[in-house]
Amino acid sequence: RAKDMGRNTFQFYQPEMNTSVGARLNLERRLRRALRDGEFLLHYQPQVDIKTGQIVGMEALVRWLDPEVGLVPPSAFIPVAEESGLIGPLSEWVLREACRQNKAWQDEGLPPARVSVNLSARQFQQRDIAKLVMSILEETGLEPQYLELELTESTIMRNAEEAVTMLAELHALGIGLAIDDFGTGYSSLSYLKRFPVDRLKIDRSFVSDIGASSDDETITSAIIALAHSLQLQVIAEGVETAAQLDFLKERACTEMQGYFFARPMPHDAIPALLQRAGTDGTRAADTVAH
Ligand code: C2E
Ligand code: MG
Ligand code: MG
Ligand code: MG
Protein backbone atom coordinates (compact mmCIF):
# COMPACT_ATOMS: atom_id res chain seq x y z
CA ARG A 1 0.00 0.00 0.00
CA ALA A 2 2.75 2.44 0.97
CA LYS A 3 4.44 1.54 -2.31
CA ASP A 4 1.40 2.72 -4.25
CA MET A 5 1.78 6.17 -2.73
CA GLY A 6 5.05 6.82 -4.59
CA ARG A 7 8.64 6.19 -3.68
CA ASN A 8 9.19 9.45 -1.82
CA THR A 9 6.17 9.16 0.35
CA PHE A 10 6.89 7.74 3.76
CA GLN A 11 3.77 6.73 5.57
CA PHE A 12 4.00 6.30 9.27
CA TYR A 13 0.39 6.39 10.12
CA GLN A 14 -2.32 4.48 8.34
CA PRO A 15 -5.56 4.61 10.26
CA GLU A 16 -7.20 2.15 7.86
CA MET A 17 -4.59 -0.52 8.39
CA ASN A 18 -4.60 0.18 12.07
CA THR A 19 -8.30 -0.49 12.34
CA SER A 20 -8.12 -3.73 10.43
CA VAL A 21 -5.24 -5.06 12.53
CA GLY A 22 -7.09 -4.01 15.65
CA ALA A 23 -10.27 -5.64 14.45
CA ARG A 24 -8.43 -8.82 13.62
CA LEU A 25 -6.81 -9.02 17.02
CA ASN A 26 -10.15 -8.37 18.63
CA LEU A 27 -11.77 -11.14 16.59
CA GLU A 28 -8.94 -13.48 17.49
CA ARG A 29 -9.43 -12.74 21.16
CA ARG A 30 -13.17 -13.38 20.90
CA LEU A 31 -12.59 -16.62 19.00
CA ARG A 32 -10.29 -17.84 21.76
CA ARG A 33 -13.01 -17.08 24.26
CA ALA A 34 -15.57 -18.80 22.04
CA LEU A 35 -13.52 -21.99 22.04
CA ARG A 36 -13.05 -21.84 25.77
CA ASP A 37 -16.70 -21.11 26.53
CA GLY A 38 -18.21 -23.48 23.98
CA GLU A 39 -19.84 -20.87 21.73
CA PHE A 40 -19.54 -22.96 18.55
CA LEU A 41 -22.28 -25.18 17.25
CA LEU A 42 -22.98 -27.28 14.20
CA HIS A 43 -25.75 -26.97 11.69
CA TYR A 44 -26.47 -29.90 9.40
CA GLN A 45 -27.58 -29.85 5.78
CA PRO A 46 -29.04 -33.05 4.33
CA GLN A 47 -27.48 -34.75 1.32
CA VAL A 48 -29.97 -36.65 -0.76
CA ASP A 49 -29.86 -39.57 -3.18
CA ILE A 50 -31.31 -38.05 -6.34
CA LYS A 51 -32.89 -41.31 -7.54
CA THR A 52 -34.62 -42.33 -4.32
CA GLY A 53 -35.00 -39.01 -2.54
CA GLN A 54 -33.57 -40.58 0.63
CA ILE A 55 -31.28 -38.68 2.95
CA VAL A 56 -27.96 -40.49 2.73
CA GLY A 57 -25.79 -37.99 4.51
CA MET A 58 -25.49 -34.53 5.95
CA GLU A 59 -22.81 -31.88 5.93
CA ALA A 60 -21.77 -30.44 9.28
CA LEU A 61 -21.41 -26.65 8.98
CA VAL A 62 -19.91 -24.74 11.88
CA ARG A 63 -21.58 -21.65 13.35
CA TRP A 64 -20.48 -19.31 16.09
CA LEU A 65 -23.11 -18.13 18.52
CA ASP A 66 -21.44 -14.91 19.60
CA PRO A 67 -23.30 -13.59 22.67
CA GLU A 68 -22.76 -10.01 21.44
CA VAL A 69 -23.65 -10.53 17.77
CA GLY A 70 -25.74 -13.67 17.40
CA LEU A 71 -25.14 -16.42 14.85
CA VAL A 72 -21.96 -15.81 12.84
CA PRO A 73 -21.33 -17.67 9.54
CA PRO A 74 -18.03 -19.50 8.97
CA SER A 75 -16.90 -17.09 6.25
CA ALA A 76 -16.60 -14.43 8.98
CA PHE A 77 -14.25 -16.38 11.23
CA ILE A 78 -12.66 -19.39 9.49
CA PRO A 79 -10.03 -17.27 7.67
CA VAL A 80 -8.92 -15.61 10.94
CA ALA A 81 -9.00 -18.97 12.71
CA GLU A 82 -6.72 -20.29 9.96
CA GLU A 83 -4.26 -17.41 10.24
CA SER A 84 -4.09 -17.46 14.02
CA GLY A 85 -3.67 -21.19 14.54
CA LEU A 86 -7.07 -21.50 16.22
CA ILE A 87 -8.26 -23.65 13.32
CA GLY A 88 -6.54 -26.67 14.91
CA PRO A 89 -8.61 -26.80 18.10
CA LEU A 90 -11.70 -25.60 16.23
CA SER A 91 -11.49 -28.35 13.59
CA GLU A 92 -10.88 -30.92 16.28
CA TRP A 93 -14.02 -29.78 18.07
CA VAL A 94 -16.07 -29.92 14.85
CA LEU A 95 -14.84 -33.40 14.03
CA ARG A 96 -15.50 -34.74 17.52
CA GLU A 97 -18.93 -33.11 17.79
CA ALA A 98 -20.03 -34.34 14.34
CA CYS A 99 -18.96 -37.91 15.13
CA ARG A 100 -20.46 -37.84 18.61
CA GLN A 101 -23.79 -36.50 17.36
CA ASN A 102 -23.99 -38.97 14.50
CA LYS A 103 -23.31 -41.91 16.82
CA ALA A 104 -25.91 -40.60 19.29
CA TRP A 105 -28.55 -40.50 16.51
CA GLN A 106 -27.72 -44.06 15.52
CA ASP A 107 -27.95 -45.14 19.17
CA GLU A 108 -31.42 -43.59 19.29
CA GLY A 109 -32.39 -45.96 16.49
CA LEU A 110 -32.57 -43.41 13.69
CA PRO A 111 -31.74 -44.59 10.16
CA PRO A 112 -27.98 -44.16 9.80
CA ALA A 113 -26.62 -41.48 7.47
CA ARG A 114 -23.03 -40.38 6.99
CA VAL A 115 -21.78 -37.04 8.24
CA SER A 116 -19.43 -34.89 6.14
CA VAL A 117 -16.93 -32.63 7.84
CA ASN A 118 -14.99 -29.84 6.12
CA LEU A 119 -11.26 -29.93 6.64
CA SER A 120 -9.35 -26.69 6.20
CA ALA A 121 -6.08 -26.46 4.31
CA ARG A 122 -4.13 -25.90 7.51
CA GLN A 123 -5.66 -28.95 9.11
CA PHE A 124 -4.88 -31.11 6.11
CA GLN A 125 -1.25 -30.04 6.31
CA GLN A 126 -0.92 -31.49 9.81
CA ARG A 127 0.95 -34.70 9.37
CA ASP A 128 -0.93 -36.45 12.14
CA ILE A 129 -4.43 -35.74 10.86
CA ALA A 130 -5.13 -39.44 10.18
CA LYS A 131 -4.14 -40.27 13.74
CA LEU A 132 -6.49 -37.61 15.09
CA VAL A 133 -9.38 -38.88 12.98
CA MET A 134 -8.72 -42.44 14.10
CA SER A 135 -8.66 -41.51 17.77
CA ILE A 136 -11.89 -39.51 17.48
CA LEU A 137 -13.61 -42.44 15.76
CA GLU A 138 -12.46 -44.73 18.57
CA GLU A 139 -13.45 -42.29 21.26
CA THR A 140 -16.94 -41.67 19.86
CA GLY A 141 -17.56 -45.21 18.62
CA LEU A 142 -18.69 -44.02 15.18
CA GLU A 143 -18.00 -46.57 12.47
CA PRO A 144 -15.66 -45.10 9.84
CA GLN A 145 -18.05 -45.58 6.91
CA TYR A 146 -20.32 -42.96 8.47
CA LEU A 147 -17.69 -40.24 8.36
CA GLU A 148 -16.67 -38.36 5.25
CA LEU A 149 -14.13 -35.55 5.01
CA GLU A 150 -14.51 -32.75 2.49
CA LEU A 151 -11.35 -31.16 1.16
CA THR A 152 -11.43 -28.40 -1.40
CA GLU A 153 -9.78 -28.93 -4.73
CA SER A 154 -7.34 -26.09 -4.03
CA THR A 155 -6.38 -27.55 -0.63
CA ILE A 156 -5.50 -30.84 -2.26
CA MET A 157 -3.71 -29.34 -5.25
CA ARG A 158 -1.61 -27.01 -3.10
CA ASN A 159 0.74 -29.90 -2.61
CA ALA A 160 -0.57 -32.68 -4.78
CA GLU A 161 2.23 -35.20 -4.22
CA GLU A 162 1.90 -35.01 -0.47
CA ALA A 163 -1.89 -35.05 -0.79
CA VAL A 164 -1.75 -38.47 -2.45
CA THR A 165 -0.04 -39.86 0.67
CA MET A 166 -2.26 -38.05 3.15
CA LEU A 167 -5.45 -39.05 1.38
CA ALA A 168 -4.28 -42.66 1.26
CA GLU A 169 -3.70 -42.61 5.02
CA LEU A 170 -7.14 -41.19 5.65
CA HIS A 171 -8.79 -43.56 3.21
CA ALA A 172 -7.13 -46.52 4.92
CA LEU A 173 -9.19 -45.70 8.01
CA GLY A 174 -12.31 -46.64 6.08
CA ILE A 175 -13.77 -43.14 5.96
CA GLY A 176 -15.08 -41.41 2.83
CA LEU A 177 -13.30 -38.56 1.06
CA ALA A 178 -14.88 -35.89 -1.10
CA ILE A 179 -13.35 -33.10 -3.17
CA ASP A 180 -15.32 -29.96 -2.28
CA ASP A 181 -15.90 -26.97 -4.59
CA PHE A 182 -14.84 -29.13 -7.51
CA GLY A 183 -14.30 -27.25 -10.76
CA THR A 184 -13.06 -24.04 -9.15
CA GLY A 185 -9.43 -25.15 -8.82
CA TYR A 186 -7.39 -26.91 -11.42
CA SER A 187 -6.85 -30.59 -10.78
CA SER A 188 -4.85 -32.36 -13.36
CA LEU A 189 -6.71 -35.41 -14.53
CA SER A 190 -3.72 -37.62 -13.90
CA TYR A 191 -3.75 -36.62 -10.23
CA LEU A 192 -7.45 -37.10 -9.98
CA LYS A 193 -6.92 -40.73 -10.89
CA ARG A 194 -4.29 -41.11 -8.18
CA PHE A 195 -6.25 -39.47 -5.38
CA PRO A 196 -8.08 -42.12 -3.39
CA VAL A 197 -11.30 -40.09 -3.17
CA ASP A 198 -14.88 -41.32 -3.32
CA ARG A 199 -16.82 -38.29 -4.40
CA LEU A 200 -16.65 -35.07 -6.38
CA LYS A 201 -18.73 -32.20 -5.11
CA ILE A 202 -19.72 -29.86 -7.94
CA ASP A 203 -19.26 -26.26 -6.85
CA ARG A 204 -22.37 -24.22 -6.28
CA SER A 205 -21.24 -21.54 -8.77
CA PHE A 206 -21.84 -23.97 -11.66
CA VAL A 207 -25.04 -25.45 -10.28
CA SER A 208 -26.62 -22.07 -9.61
CA ASP A 209 -26.21 -21.07 -13.26
CA ILE A 210 -27.97 -24.13 -14.65
CA GLY A 211 -30.70 -22.68 -16.80
CA ALA A 212 -28.85 -19.36 -17.08
CA SER A 213 -25.41 -20.10 -18.48
CA SER A 214 -24.78 -22.75 -21.09
CA ASP A 215 -21.07 -22.72 -20.18
CA ASP A 216 -21.86 -23.66 -16.60
CA GLU A 217 -24.26 -26.34 -17.81
CA THR A 218 -21.50 -27.75 -19.96
CA ILE A 219 -19.07 -27.74 -17.03
CA THR A 220 -21.61 -29.41 -14.75
CA SER A 221 -22.29 -32.11 -17.34
CA ALA A 222 -18.58 -32.63 -17.87
CA ILE A 223 -17.90 -33.05 -14.14
CA ILE A 224 -20.69 -35.61 -13.83
CA ALA A 225 -19.36 -37.52 -16.85
CA LEU A 226 -15.83 -37.35 -15.44
CA ALA A 227 -17.01 -38.74 -12.12
CA HIS A 228 -18.82 -41.59 -13.85
CA SER A 229 -15.82 -42.51 -15.97
CA LEU A 230 -13.51 -42.49 -12.93
CA GLN A 231 -16.15 -44.44 -10.99
CA LEU A 232 -16.60 -41.72 -8.40
CA GLN A 233 -19.77 -40.63 -6.71
CA VAL A 234 -20.86 -37.11 -7.56
CA ILE A 235 -22.89 -34.63 -5.54
CA ALA A 236 -24.13 -31.20 -6.61
CA GLU A 237 -24.10 -28.46 -3.97
CA GLY A 238 -26.34 -25.41 -3.90
CA VAL A 239 -29.34 -26.92 -5.69
CA GLU A 240 -32.12 -24.37 -5.32
CA THR A 241 -34.66 -25.11 -8.06
CA ALA A 242 -36.62 -27.99 -9.55
CA ALA A 243 -35.12 -27.15 -12.96
CA GLN A 244 -31.59 -27.58 -11.59
CA LEU A 245 -32.59 -30.88 -10.00
CA ASP A 246 -34.11 -32.14 -13.28
CA PHE A 247 -30.95 -31.21 -15.17
CA LEU A 248 -28.84 -33.16 -12.67
CA LYS A 249 -31.19 -36.12 -12.66
CA GLU A 250 -31.09 -36.39 -16.45
CA ARG A 251 -27.32 -36.59 -16.31
CA ALA A 252 -27.38 -39.22 -13.56
CA CYS A 253 -25.77 -37.08 -10.87
CA THR A 254 -25.82 -39.31 -7.78
CA GLU A 255 -26.62 -36.92 -4.95
CA MET A 256 -27.67 -33.36 -4.25
CA GLN A 257 -27.58 -30.85 -1.47
CA GLY A 258 -29.17 -27.43 -1.41
CA TYR A 259 -31.94 -25.12 -0.32
CA PHE A 260 -34.36 -26.85 -2.71
CA PHE A 261 -34.34 -29.84 -0.41
CA ALA A 262 -33.36 -28.29 2.92
CA ARG A 263 -31.26 -25.51 4.39
CA PRO A 264 -28.60 -26.19 7.00
CA MET A 265 -30.49 -26.67 10.26
CA PRO A 266 -29.88 -27.04 13.99
CA HIS A 267 -29.15 -30.54 15.24
CA ASP A 268 -32.55 -30.94 16.87
CA ALA A 269 -34.36 -30.67 13.53
CA ILE A 270 -32.50 -33.63 12.05
CA PRO A 271 -34.06 -36.65 13.85
CA ALA A 272 -37.57 -35.96 12.52
CA LEU A 273 -36.18 -35.60 9.01
CA LEU A 274 -34.22 -38.85 9.20
CA GLN A 275 -37.16 -40.67 10.75
CA ARG A 276 -39.58 -39.54 8.10
CA ALA A 277 -37.32 -40.25 5.17
CA GLY A 278 -36.36 -43.59 6.62
CA THR A 279 -39.77 -44.99 7.40
CA ASP A 280 -42.13 -44.07 4.61
CA GLY A 281 -39.73 -43.07 1.88
CA THR A 282 -41.35 -39.65 1.69
CA ARG A 283 -39.05 -37.13 0.10
CA ALA A 284 -38.16 -34.68 2.81
CA ALA A 285 -38.52 -31.98 0.15
CA ASP A 286 -42.25 -32.49 0.48
CA THR A 287 -42.06 -32.02 4.22
CA VAL A 288 -39.58 -29.20 4.59
CA ALA A 289 -40.42 -25.60 3.89
CA HIS A 290 -37.94 -24.10 1.46
P1 C2E B 1 -18.89 -25.45 1.67
O2 C2E B 1 -18.23 -26.59 2.35
O3 C2E B 1 -18.82 -25.41 0.19
O4 C2E B 1 -20.39 -25.48 2.21
C5 C2E B 1 -21.51 -25.18 1.46
C6 C2E B 1 -22.02 -23.79 1.77
O7 C2E B 1 -23.08 -23.48 0.87
C8 C2E B 1 -22.63 -23.64 3.16
O9 C2E B 1 -22.39 -22.31 3.61
C10 C2E B 1 -24.11 -23.83 2.90
O11 C2E B 1 -24.94 -23.24 3.86
C12 C2E B 1 -24.25 -23.16 1.57
N13 C2E B 1 -25.38 -23.68 0.80
C14 C2E B 1 -25.86 -24.93 0.79
N15 C2E B 1 -26.89 -25.06 -0.06
C16 C2E B 1 -27.08 -23.84 -0.62
C17 C2E B 1 -28.00 -23.33 -1.59
O18 C2E B 1 -28.85 -24.02 -2.13
N19 C2E B 1 -27.87 -22.02 -1.94
C20 C2E B 1 -26.93 -21.21 -1.38
N21 C2E B 1 -26.89 -19.94 -1.76
N22 C2E B 1 -26.04 -21.67 -0.46
C23 C2E B 1 -26.10 -22.97 -0.09
P24 C2E B 1 -21.80 -22.01 5.04
O25 C2E B 1 -22.43 -22.91 6.05
O26 C2E B 1 -21.89 -20.53 5.25
O27 C2E B 1 -20.30 -22.44 4.91
C28 C2E B 1 -19.43 -21.75 4.05
C29 C2E B 1 -18.09 -22.43 3.98
O30 C2E B 1 -17.43 -22.39 5.24
C31 C2E B 1 -18.16 -23.89 3.61
O32 C2E B 1 -18.31 -24.04 2.24
C33 C2E B 1 -16.83 -24.38 4.13
O34 C2E B 1 -15.81 -24.13 3.20
C35 C2E B 1 -16.61 -23.51 5.35
N36 C2E B 1 -16.94 -24.29 6.55
C37 C2E B 1 -18.14 -24.53 7.11
N38 C2E B 1 -18.02 -25.29 8.21
C39 C2E B 1 -16.70 -25.56 8.34
C40 C2E B 1 -15.92 -26.30 9.30
O41 C2E B 1 -16.42 -26.92 10.25
N42 C2E B 1 -14.56 -26.32 9.11
C43 C2E B 1 -13.97 -25.68 8.08
N44 C2E B 1 -12.63 -25.76 7.96
N45 C2E B 1 -14.67 -24.98 7.17
C46 C2E B 1 -16.02 -24.91 7.30
MG1 MG C 1 -18.19 -28.54 2.22
MG1 MG D 1 -18.76 -27.04 -1.10
MG1 MG E 1 -18.74 -24.23 -2.13
pLDDT of 205-254, one tens digit each? 999 999 888 999 999 999 999 999 999 999 999 999 999 999 999 999 99
| Cα dist from 209 to 103, 214, 239, 241, whole Å | 37, 8, 10, 11
Q: Given a cut of 90, is residue 48 above it in pLDDT?
A: yes
Residue 278: the pLDDT is 52
- Residue nearest atom 27 in ligand 1 by C-alpha distance: 74
Decide whether any atom of ligand 1 lies within 6 Å of the 238 Cβ.
yes
Residue 225: the pLDDT is 97
Task: Identify the bridge partners of residue 266 per DSSP, sorted by sequence position.
Answer: 43
Q: Given a cut of 80, is residue 8 above it in pLDDT?
A: no
Residue 24: the pLDDT is 85
Decide whether any atom of ligand 1 lies within 6 Å of the 99 Cβ.
no
Decide whether any atom of ligand 1 lies within 6 Å of the 97 Cβ.
no
| Ligand whose nearest atom lies closest to the CA of 61 | 1
Test site for ligand 1: of 118, 153, 180, 200, most ligand atoms within 8 A of the Cβ: 118
pTM: 0.90
Interacting residues of 271 by C-beta distance below 8 A, sequence separation 6+: 105, 108, 110
% of the chain exceeding 90 in pLDDT: 73
Alpha carbons within 13 angstroms on the beta-carbon side of residue 106 total: 17
ipTM greater than 0.90, yes or no?
yes
| Ligand whose nearest atom lies closest to the CA of 78 | 1
% of the chain exceeding 70 in pLDDT: 89
pLDDT band at 168 (very low <50, low <70, confident <90, very high): very high
Given a contact cutoff of 8 angstroms between Cβ atoms, the answer to whether 274 and 105 are in contact is yes
Decide whether any atom of ligand 1 lies within 6 Å of the 258 Cβ.
yes
Q: Given a cut of 80, is residue 116 above it in pLDDT?
A: yes
Residue 18: the pLDDT is 54
- How far does Cα 238 stand from its chain's mean position? 12
174 Cα–ligand 1 center, Å: 24
Cβ–Cβ contacts within 10 Å for residue 97, how many? Answer: 20
Decide whether any atom of ligand 1 lies within 6 Å of the 237 Cβ.
yes
Count, residues in the chain: 290
